[in-house]
Structure 1
Amino acid sequence: MAQEYPASEVRPRRRGRKLLIGLFVLLLLLAGLLVVADRVAVGVAERTIADRVSQEVAKQGAQSTRPDVEVAGIPFLTQVLDGRYERITIKLRDVQASVEGGAVQLPVLDVDARNVRASLDTLRSGQGDVVADTVKGTGTISYDSLAALLKRPGLTLGEQNGKLAVTAPADILGQKLTISGTADVTVADNGAVALRFNDLDAAGLPNLPLARAFLSNYAKSISIDVPLPDLPFQLAVREVRPLPEGLAVTADAKNVPINSAG
């Protein structure tokens, strides 16, 4: 025979279940509101940083599309309270900057800031520095803009087996030939990209001292130091290497105020 419970015992149990369910629903709603607030705060921070970066790019006489900014780390609001952010990434597209002798074009410039420090007072007042422990920048210089700086009609640059390759038409001793070869690419002491063409040849080149001298002089004339525009966030170029899509540039900096770039 089933045991029967007094009605006075059943009601409190039901009320207890309803209370627990109500608390659970309330917690879910609060969690949802916190997530929404967290994402809204991230959006505001990303737009603010994008505005600052756009101003700094323009201040340096360069052009780019509006930066894409992403503040990593969840939840964001706890990072605000702690005054330290795991990572902030900034992507600049279609960057163009004037340099001596022409312009340098970077289809994409990626900036990665790690361990960013910003106190809550700094964020509230806008006064003080937002400092990143490390900042790394990676970009690609288009071969077309690089070739234009060499000022040789018909000259083209590209990548061949990991090296910077060149081809160019030339009139050597009355013969129309095509010069081809590769260059060593390094970072000069002044931060410029040093191009040294020391391995040029031309199919059908006459085996004459005058023809060889022409080729040698041509190689010297296009072996230049390409000045790079000032990069944001005090980035200093450390490495350059040819890739199929362009000349890849890697730069870095430490203890950088990212709210006063340049």
Structure 2
Amino acid sequence: MRAIRTILITAVILGGLFVAADRGAVWFAEKQAAEKIRDSQGLSGTPEVSIKGFPFLTQVASSELDEVEVKLDGVTAGAGDRSVKVSGFDATLHGVRIDSSFSSAVAGRATGTAHLSYEDLTKAAGDPDVSVAYSGTSGSQVKVTGKVTVAGQPVERSVVSTVTVVNGGTIRVHADEVPSQGVPGAERKIREKTDFDRQIAGLPKGLKLDKVTATPSGVDVTLTGSDVNLAG
């Protein structure tokens, strides 16, 4: 009886040591992975990386992680004066193939969400006379207000615009209808301001924009991808 008890106690102690070592390895790997992703993607901040699954060490031995979550707030994506600030980004990655130093990481498939605030969409329009806001309707519609001058007269219109994804990497804002209200040339001039395309660059290679949903706080863009290159 005493021998069985000793064996059980020893097993518990060894199990505890293994769990501690495993969790310590996860913490170190998450830190290393976050820095690699930041550097390889040229991000403006360091992401929060969470490696799921237990035990972690056996996943490392097989060079593949079951599931990894990546979160980042306030990242600037794009280039130059047409850059777009993504106020929230999160992705869940499955089947992440790694090497021993975490210098290379490729996810078999990934899903996620990028959040663009209306303030940042307004800045992305690139015109001080244009503003983007919540339309109060469901789906992918927003309200865009533009000010122009027609025949020497100031004209302001608020239009309902649909936000769509073009070619997996570009956000398009296009007015459903622009009421001219009898002002010749008003629709064309308003559209020159309210209709615009903005590319969302800087996301991990292989991750594409999929669908847009307008919310009271901004626009949520769902992301999907396969063979997503996180580092290397």
In which range does the TM-score fall when normalised by the shorter chain?
0.7 to 0.9
1:234 Cα shift? 2.7
Judging by fraction of residues, say which structure has more helix: 1
- For 1:122-137, list aligned pairs within 5 A: 122-123=99-100, 129-137=104-112
Larger gyration radius, structure 1 or structure 2: 1
Is 2:61 the partner of 1:70? no
Is 2:193 the partner of 1:221? yes
**Aligned counterpart, 2:143:** 165
The structure in which a higher percent of residues are strand is 2
TM-score by length of 2: 0.85
CA RMSD of aligned residues (A): 2.5
- 2:65 is matched by which residue type in structure 1? Y
Asked if structure 1 preserves the Cα contact closer than 8 Å seen for 2:95 and 2:107, the reply is: yes
Q: Within 2, Cα distance between the matches of 1:87 and 1:190?
A: 24
Whether 1:252 and 2:211 are equivalent positions in the alignment is no
Q: Select which of 149, 156, 169 maps to 1:191.
A: 169
**For residues 215 and 134 of structure 1, what CA distance do their matches in structure 2 show?**
43
Tell me by how many angstroms 1:173 deviates.
6.7
**Unpaired runs of 5+ in structure 1?**
1-16
How far is the alpha carbon of 1:198 from its aligned partner?
3.1
After TM superposition, the structure 1 = structure 2 runs for residues 23-102 of structure 1, keeping only pairs within 5 Å, are 23-58=7-42, 62-64=43-45, 66-99=46-79, 101-102=81-82
Match of 1:234 in 2: 206
Q: For residue 165 of structure 1, what is the amino acid of its counterpart?
A: K
Cα displacement (A) at 1:175: 6.8
Distance in 2 between the 1:190 and 1:20 partners? 61
Q: CA deviation at 1:182?
A: 0.8
Moved more, 44-53 or 147-156: 147-156
Matched, 1:152 2:133: no
Q: Which has the higher contact order (CA 8 A, sep 6+)?
A: 2
TM-score by length of 1: 0.76
Unaligned runs of 5+ in 2: none
Deviations 1:38-89 (CA, angstroms, capped at 9, x unpaired): 101111111110110110232xxx412x211011001112222233321011
* Local SS of the residue matching 2:201: coil
Distance 1:232 1:248, change over 3 A: same
Percent identity between the aligned chains? 24
